[in-house]
Amino acid sequence: MDRAFVAKLERFPLVRLRIRYEDVEPLRRQRIERLLEAVGALLREPWGGIRAAARAHYSRAEFETRVHDHLHLYAAEVHALSRSVRPALLVAPWRERLRALMEKQANALAREVAHLLYDRAMR
């Protein structure tokens, strides 16, 4: 998928994307491993749907923290990918703003997902 995307960018001579896999791969691997671990934990619970499995396995606070951690790793991965764009001047002014925005939204989104699974489920 990355190679096909990079090949399409070759049509734009001012933009080059040299993906630094040594920066991206550890973050991507950690994010995927944590997702697989969480899915495995939920599937080991007696199945009454995702809401019941999540509530049986995680406290609301722990679930919110897990979602936040996943989104934090995703933001770090996007940040690492942004360093692959050349010339860097195209993204440099936005790189830190994007990461800060993603981190801020991670907090809000983690709270909202936990609310939907735990608080709303109780009504």
- If one counts every other C-beta atom within 10 angstroms of the C-beta of residue 111, the result is 15
Looking up tokens 């907090």 gives 107
| pTM metric for this prediction | 0.76
Q: What angle do CA 85, 74, 122 make, to 5 degrees?
A: 155
Count of Cβ atoms closer than 10 Å to residue 67 Cβ: 21
Per-residue pLDDT tens for 21-66?
A: 888 899 999 999 999 999 999 898 888 888 889 899 999 999 999 9
Domain ranges in the chain? 20-122
Angle 104-107-111 from CA coordinates, rounded to 5°? 145
